[in-house]
Amino acid sequence: MKQSKARIAIALAVLVFTASGCGVVNRIRSKNELNEAARSYREGNYVQAEQHSRKALELDPDSKAAPLFIARTIHAQYRPGVAAADNIAKAREAIEAYRQILQNDPQNDEAYRAIAFLYERIKEDAKLREWITARANDGGAAPEKRAEAYIVLASKDWNCSFQLTEPNKVTTSTGEGKASVTYNKPKDPKDFETAQVCVKRGLEEVENALRFDQNSEPAWSYKTNLLLEAVKLAKMEGRADQEAELDKQRAAAQKRTDELSEANRKKQAEEEAKKAASPPTS
């Protein structure tokens, strides 16, 4: 009886050792596949690189690197600016691969930014706004990342208004090298309403950005530009009092933008001077 138990124990030990050994071997093979994937990627053989990446994940399902390799190699197969159905499908496949990464690593910036980039390139604006808004509203995200998301949204709303107001700018010479600038309402009333909506929403977004990062130069810059859009809209409606108040706010925002820009410039100059003065490392 004791001998039988001893044999069972030995058999189990051999089984565990063998399974453990297989795991080690597979992890080594997985790393080799990733090395091959990297080589193929550098050579521009993205399909082959994807195949090596998938084989690496198959050999080591716990690999943290393999899913990112897979997403990158699919992404590399997408051709920006090509509207062919199979190319758009490849972009969506890459988006899904990056989403899988975020399921295990919600704060992976590469995956987050790649998805935003791909949505923008395939012109899926509604999904892009939804994606960025989710980051802006994510209570688990770092404050600076939420601020950045709100700034991106504000930038898009500024552009929405600018594309509708700027074509309606009228410049009139007043003599002696001076000019007067006015803005006419867009011919389509819906365009004016759209610009109003974009400016209102953009200013709300930029205030949210400043709530998370009061000293964000980009946030203050977009606040300045959005207030300028608001000035244009007031000018179009002939609301002089509103125009004057909005322009006062714009000037204050511009002043703060300039202050932050100068402070950042000095900080960068000081950091570069410190690097230049530091002795070279051996």
Each residue's pLDDT tens digit, 120-157: 999 999 999 999 999 999 999 999 999 999 999 999 99
Mean per-residue pLDDT over the chain, rounded: 91
**Residue 30: pLDDT above 50?**
yes
Bigger pLDDT: 227 vs 282: 227
> Residue 254: its pLDDT value, please?
98
CA distances (Å), origin 109, targets 26, 80, 116, 142: 29, 21, 11, 12
pTM tops 0.85, yes or no: no
pLDDT digits (tens, 9 = 90+) for 225-264: 999 999 999 999 999 999 999 999 999 999 999 999 999 9
Mean pLDDT of 255-282: 87
> Residue 281: its pLDDT value, please?
61
pLDDT digits (tens, 9 = 90+) for 55-83: 999 999 999 999 999 999 999 999 999 99
Position 134: which residue type? A
**CA pair distance 163, 160, nearest whole angstrom:** 6
**Residue 1: pLDDT above 50?**
no
> Residue 19: its pLDDT value, please?
46
Which tokens belong to 108? 């992976």
Q: Which of 258, 259, 234, 256 is nearest to 247 (CA)?
A: 234
Which tokens belong to 38? 């990297």
3-state class (DSSP) for residue 175: strand
